[in-house]
Amino acid sequence: MPTFPVQRWSAEGCETVEDHVAEEEPLAVELRHGPVAERKRSPATTTMRTPGHDADLAVGWLYTERHIGMAADVIGIVQVEPNLIRVDLHPEVEIDLARFARAGYASSACGLCGKTLLDVWEDDLPKLAATPHMTWELVTALPAKLAAMQPQFHQTGGVHAAATFSAAGELSAVREDVGRHNALDKLLGAALIDDDLAGPIVLTTARAGFELVQKCAVAGIPVLIAVGAPTSLAVQTARRVGMTLIGFLRGDRFNVYAGTIT
């Protein structure tokens, strides 16, 4: 975890201290694909991320962007360099290189940067299965469980987290990253790699933009809860696919924008 000397000001005056900051570096994702006799290497994307769980991030991104559909589509992952990872796809996986409209660069801030509106609206998101029974008590208990598993945030205050929970509110996995969509991709990528179905509830420390709703819908997650605000497109999409969408989860309060709780 990098540290920098900073001036810390308060009513008592100023002091110079070493401050931990969130690490952010580029990650280039490269694909090895095609028939056995004609294997090719193609760039997929470069994204700014917090180093760590890079395989989860690469596979999760490929999955939630629907370039792959199952764990068996990936036959190998190699960390070629600290900031370069290669995903080896099954020879029968067909890759449409024209779909990598964002190949080259995507910031850690926006999961849809460079994507056209036509691409977004033409996404055929699946209808979700029935959501688990949600109660006020279950929802308001989740943030404390996540907070206890955010070591990078407690050191830096500069990373987002995404976590999956069971229908009973038991925390199953957590991933952190400077990018809110990266944290979610890491979380869902880990579930795909481990062939472990992600829990039906996702909690994010970020706002609930369309891209988070989209990624959860692709992964079949029926409940998305955010500590921040949703966007209009996120609400419309959640209602269309049958997702329970909760925002502004703060203490004992929250808003339900789609779905119902009791």
Residues 128, 126: Cα–Cα separation, whole Å? 6
Q: Where are the beta strands (DSSP E) in the chain?
A: 3-10, 13-20, 25-33, 40-49, 74-81, 84-89, 160-165, 171-177, 201-204, 223-226, 244-250, 253-258
In terms of DSSP bridges, do strands 25-33 and 40-49 run parallel, antiparallel, or are they unpaired? antiparallel
Residues 181, 164: Cα–Cα separation, whole Å? 14
On whether residue 122 sits in a domain, the answer given is no
Say if residue 81's pLDDT is above 60: yes
Residues 177, 66: Cα–Cα separation, whole Å? 21
pLDDT digits (tens, 9 = 90+) for 97-122: 777 755 445 555 555 554 544 354 44
Residues 140 and 108 in one domain: no
Residues 170 and 252 in one domain: yes
Give me the percent of the chain exceeding a pLDDT of 90: 68
Say if residue 95's pLDDT is above 60: yes
On whether residue 1 sits in a domain, the answer given is no
On whether residue 160 sits in a domain, the answer given is yes
Give me the percent of the chain exceeding a pLDDT of 70: 90
Q: Are 85 and 79 in contact (CB under 8 A)?
A: yes
Question: How many domains is the chain built from?
Answer: 2
Rounded mean pLDDT, 3-9: 85
Question: Could you tell me the CATH number of the domain that includes residue 65?
Answer: 3.10.20.10
| Residue 79: band (very low, low, confident or very high) from pLDDT cuts 50, 70, 90 | very high
On whether residue 131 sits in a domain, the answer given is no
Residues 106 and 155 in one domain: no
Asked which of 5-9, 33-37, 41-45, 237-241 is least confident by mean pLDDT, the reply is: 5-9
Catalytic residues: 110
Residue at which a domain ends, from 67, 85, 117: 117
The parent domain of residue 205 ranges over 136-258
Residues 247 and 140 in one domain: yes
On whether residue 190 sits in a domain, the answer given is yes
pLDDT digits (tens, 9 = 90+) for 152-202: 999 999 999 999 999 999 999 999 999 999 999 999 999 999 877 668 999
